[in-house]
Amino acid sequence: EAVYREVVIGGRRLGEKDVYRVERAITQGWMIVQGIKIIYPVEITIHPGEVEVISLAREKGIETVLMDDAKARAASEMAGLRPIGTLWLILKAVKNHMLNFDEFLSTLEDIIRSGFYLKEEVYLKAVRKARELSGD
């Protein structure tokens, strides 16, 4: 619920253009909003939404979680989970032919514009990898 409040409600308040995509994913059933009782206290101070993701994953027996924040990734590893990042996810979409190279670049530009931070060398490495995976 904390993630929903931040992404959808907060995003709508800020006029974020991608809120409708998340709402559609929820309506279509491939994203689920679920309240969670925190069953796994995290020793590191992280965002409440990240604590909920870790707790829900532990409760449901899910091994992999999407985490970009370094502290949240460390907390999820301490909880016995495997964190993956947004960059990994969109590269996987290229590998699985869900995004072509141009769509990868567009997606990467969009998330950077929305505040996602990448070091220059990570950005360049990701672009090279996407080009290789897409065959472009």
> What is the average pLDDT value for the chain, to the nearest integer?
85
Residue type, position 99, single letter: L
How far, in Å, CA of 108 to CA of 22, rounded?
A: 17
The confidence band for 10, taking pLDDT boundaries of 50, 70 and 90, is: confident
pLDDT of residue 38: 53
Task: Tell me, yes or no, whether 65 and 96 share the same domain.
Answer: no
Number of structural domains in the chain: 2
Spatial CA neighbour of 44 closest among 83, 5, 8, 1:
83
Task: Tell me, yes or no, whether 30 and 91 share the same domain.
Answer: no
Task: Tell me, yes or no, whether 7 and 69 share the same domain.
Answer: yes
